[in-house]
Amino acid sequence: MKNQVWQKWVAVSALSVLLAACGGGGGSDTPAPISSKASISSVVSFGDSLSDAGTYVAAKAAGGGKFTTNPGKVWVENVAAYYGITIVPAETSGFGVPTTTNPNGYAYGQGGSRVSDPNGINHAGGATTLPITSQMANYLTNHTAFNAKQLVLIQGGPNDIFTHLAILGAGGETQNAAQTAIITAATQLVGVVQTAATKGAQYIVVAGVPDMGSAPLFAGNPTGAAGATSLSLVFNTALQTGLGQLKAALPSTIKIIYIDAFTYIDYVAAHSADPAFGFKHSLDAVACDAAKINAIAPTAGGSSLFCSANTLTEAGADQTYMFADGIHPTTRLHSLISDYVIGRVEAAFNP
């Protein structure tokens, strides 16, 4: 039943996009669809490595620069491109590179970032990991407010989950304490959404966390996978609850569009070999060859930040594998995610 409902939603979403592209259903009583492309003139994004459009330029020397199968685009770049916009990092920094602010950069996401804690993943190793709350504050310092023709993309939470899984695994906190911390992070992300809304944003996309336990990182580790999935659900539940309360308090003209990344990516994984998706390898396999990456960047740990066409497991792996490394999507999976996001945005314009 779950798959049937999901397939029906996908079909309806695809139909709405098709009608928008074709100018409506043709009936004289059918209102003309609203063009999201005409309504959006700018895209701004906040998040972590899943939304990082190239903060860590030190990796470019190795052919990398983003946490995917470089030079492929991450989802926020694809969504911006749909609207005819090229989105670039608001800041380049990290790993010994002086921080440089780009006044024309609207991609604020940084690899390793947590929702509010500056000590993100690999912060001690040189990543700047500016938290999402600070990313939002920096945007407002640079631009004061949002406007009604901006599409705001907000994503975060996975690194808070990874952090508390590690603390929990080391015996540093109880399960209840970890869940409380994750609920707090989700609530803080709702606060970021609220700030965007009160500062003029009218169209806000908010992505829930994927099913972290289904990532290749946890292959062969059922206990770790179960823990990661559990905390992912805790985060998403708190996020959706908070967003629901926020929506009720905001004017109806402000559209908050929730992206159920957990369900969508799990659905793709369950149907990965379908022609619509085109993946050809085990879900536990990754496109980037860690040994090749570590040969050119010995401290990289096989991270897709340093992955390029020269370090793929095989030619075309960016299109035939779901994951670039243990947790990050390939170019192909990012493309599918962005198509899903675009469909949800179109549906918000034409409910």
Q: pLDDT of 274-291, one tens digit each?
A: 999 999 999 999 999 999
CATH architecture of 46-349: 3-Layer(aba) Sandwich (3.40)
CA angle 311, 262, 221 (to 5 degrees): 60
Give the three-state DSSP class for 207. strand
- Residue-wise pLDDT for 15-71, tens only, equals 333 323 333 333 335 555 666 777 899 999 999 999 999 999 999 989 999 999 999
What pTM was estimated for this model as a whole? 0.91
pLDDT of residue 3: 37
Nearest alpha-carbon partner for 243 in 198, 188, 190, 189: 190
- Quick: pLDDT tens for 64-99: 999 999 999 999 999 999 999 999 999 999 999 999
* Structure confidence at residue 22 (pLDDT): 32
Contact 156, 48 (CB under 8 A): yes
Continuous H helices in the chain: 2-22, 36-39, 75-82, 132-143, 158-169, 175-198, 222-249, 261-270, 290-296, 317-320, 331-349
pLDDT per position as a tens digit, 188-218: 999 999 999 999 999 999 999 999 999 999 9
User: Does 310 have pLDDT greater than 70?
Assistant: yes
**Rounded Cα–Cα distance for residues 251 and 253 (Å):** 5
For 163, 327, 331, the CA distances from 121, given in Å and listed in that order, are 8, 13, 22
Q: Classify residue 88 by its DSSP letter.
A: -
Whether the pLDDT of residue 12 is over 90: the answer is: no
Closest-CA residue to 104 (of 148, 176, 42): 42
Percent above pLDDT 70 for the chain? 90
Q: What is the pLDDT of residue 38?
A: 76
**Residue 349's pLDDT is what?**
86
Calculate mean pLDDT across residues 122-146: 97
Looking at residue 221, what is its pLDDT? 96
Per-residue pLDDT tens over the stretch 237-284: 999 999 999 999 999 999 999 999 999 999 999 999 999 999 999 999
Residue 332, pLDDT score: 98
Rg (CA), the chain: 20
Q: What is the mean pLDDT of the chain?
A: 91
Proportion of the chain above pLDDT 90, given as a percent: 87
Bridge-based pairing of strands 42-46 and 150-155 is parallel
pLDDT for 350 equals: 82
Q: Report the pLDDT value the prediction gives residue 141, as an integer from 0 to 100.
A: 97
pLDDT confidence tier of residue 146, bands split at 50, 70 and 90: very high
Mean pLDDT throughout 305-323? 98
pLDDT value at residue 37: 78
User: From CA 122, how far away is CA 75, in angstroms rounded?
Assistant: 22
